[in-house]
Amino acid sequence: VVYNDDCLIIAVKPAGLLAVPGRGADKQDCLASRVQAQFLDALIVHRLDMATSGLMVLGRGAEMQRALSRLFHDREVGKRYVALVAGRMKVAAGEINLPLMADWLKRPRQKVDHDAGKHALTRYRVLGYDAGGDTTRVELEPVTGRTHQLRVHLAAIGHPIVGDVLYGGRLAPRLMLHAGMLAFQHPRTGEALAFSSPPPF
């Protein structure tokens, strides 16, 4: 937990930990239950993939959970991720605008589908290139919030995230994707809040 008040909690989820409980007794350990052990009224507002690390918001009670959920739904939350991707991204900044949908035959995979997919937009900015590992460090802004959006978009342009074996990424100890920044207005006071967490890779 990096921030808490009587309305909300900001916590950093490690890679490999579920955001919410899964099916079965072996999938009950998750960010939600760990935070609830300290704050009984904490409720998850949004999710990160199990393999992704980074900042998450929890509401204190159902009313605050709804208010914060509306901010996410209305795209009033600034989000930035950092990723390590394969190869050298030659364009310093740009947008990936490719519609996405579930790949029902290969679940949980998602896929680009220009006919039936839902609008999905990712902005990116190159932070640096490591010639030794042939990887590019990139900052990502998901304008929309589709399942696996960042992972599918980067794979689709030929730069899968390192560690993302589901979408053709090279093997690594973890998925090299971290939710490093969140910014939004406090749902009760209107104060501008901004939180950052350095990527652990």
Amino acid at 137: R
Active-site residue list:
49
Within the chain, strands assigned E span: 3-4, 8-13, 42-44, 53-60, 78-86, 93-97, 100-102, 110-112, 121-130, 135-142, 177-185, 192-196
CA angle 12, 46, 110 (to 5 degrees): 105
Q: Which residues pair with 9 in a beta bridge?
A: 4, 58
Q: Which residue, 115, 139, 135, is CA-closest to 126?
A: 139
